[in-house]
Copies of this chain bind each other. A is one copy, B any other.
Amino acid sequence: MDTIDITSYKVTKPVALKSVPTKDNFNSSKKVLEKQLKVTSKELAEFQDKLYAHGKYGVLVCLQGMDTAGKDSLIREVFKELNARGVVVHSFKVPTKLELRHDYLWRHYIALPERGKFSVFNRTHYENVLVTKVHPEYILGENLPDINSVEDVDDAFWEKRYRQINDFEKHITENGTLVFKFFLHLSKEEQRKRLLRRLDLPQKNWKFSPGDLAERELWEAYQNCYETAINKTSKEHAPWYIVPADNKKSARLIVASILLQTLKKYKDIKEPELDPEIKSNLKSYKEQLEKEA
């Protein structure tokens, strides 16, 4: 089993989404991909123990993608082998009234990972430059003082948001949060198939809403917003990875491999040394326990 080459997925210069493949270039069977993911997830679990014991870094995993891109099942499979104690998943839906009474980053700030843990954002703060950019009327619901009509939501407004998001991510990475941003890149044709499956399979029906078709009509607008957001905010300290997502199994393996290979480069993340004094006395602690018997 070869190691996945993760270099091609990272966005290091401006990209045109249209020219980035939605299909992987692997020649592996489903079974091989599944096995390889399991091995990778287990290694990630070993790393997790070190991360927790070390207690200095938190890991933020941001997942974005069009509807049906496979975010939910990816979370289930990639983190399958990890200890649930150290993985917190936050699925961000339409903002609540309480959330709207704060700035748009507030609900995400609260959910940032503790040192030693993973936070997975299922949809992220980027929705504030995606769904709201496709539907600028949503911005009116945020009750911003300067925004009185959709006309106020202009280019300068979006530029400010990209800058605010970059500043936010710079701050958290400088203070110990490792940030990974994944765009699950799906083709429009594959979405069609997956929506059809939701309609055909009774046990998947609940996932369907007529709104999905309305959003699908806006496919091009969404792709444009993704492209701009990715290009404006992919930074060395908080890079975007564009993951081909037409095949769910390879997408999961790519995400797990990017996490594992990148995290393992942090050589400082390891169990801390035991205090030398305690260490030199291990024998006497042992004797104390043995005497009890």
Contacts and interface: CB of A to CB of B under 8 A. Distances in A.
Interface of A: 55-58, 98, 100-106, 109-110, 112, 114-116, 143-145, 160, 164, 167-168, 170-172, 174-177, 268
Contacts of A57: 145
Contact of A167 (B58, B103, B171, B268): B171
Nearest to A101: B114
Contacts of A175: 103-105, 144, 164
A264 to B, nearest CB: 15
A157 to B, nearest CB: 10
Given A98-B114, A103-B177, 5 more contacts: A101-B116, A103-B175, A104-B175, A105-B171, A105-B175
6 contacts: A56-B143, A58-B102, A101-B114, A106-B109, A115-B143, A164-B170
A145 B178 CA distance: 11
Nearest to A113: B102
A25 B160 CA distance: 42
Contacts of A144: 56, 175-176
Contact of A176 (B103, B114, B160, B167): B103
A164 B160 contact: no
Contacts of A101: 55, 58, 114-116
A108 to B, nearest CB: 10
A110 B108 CA distance: 10
A166 to B, nearest CB: 9
A170 B161 CA distance: 12
Among A101, A109, A174, A175, which residue has the most Cβ atoms of chain B within 10 A? A175
A56 to B, nearest CB: 5
A102 B110 CA distance: 10
A146 to B, nearest CB: 8
A114 B170 CA distance: 25
A103 B114 contact: no
Contact of A145 (B103, B104, B160, B268): B268
A110 B110 CA distance: 6
Contacts of A115: 100-102, 143
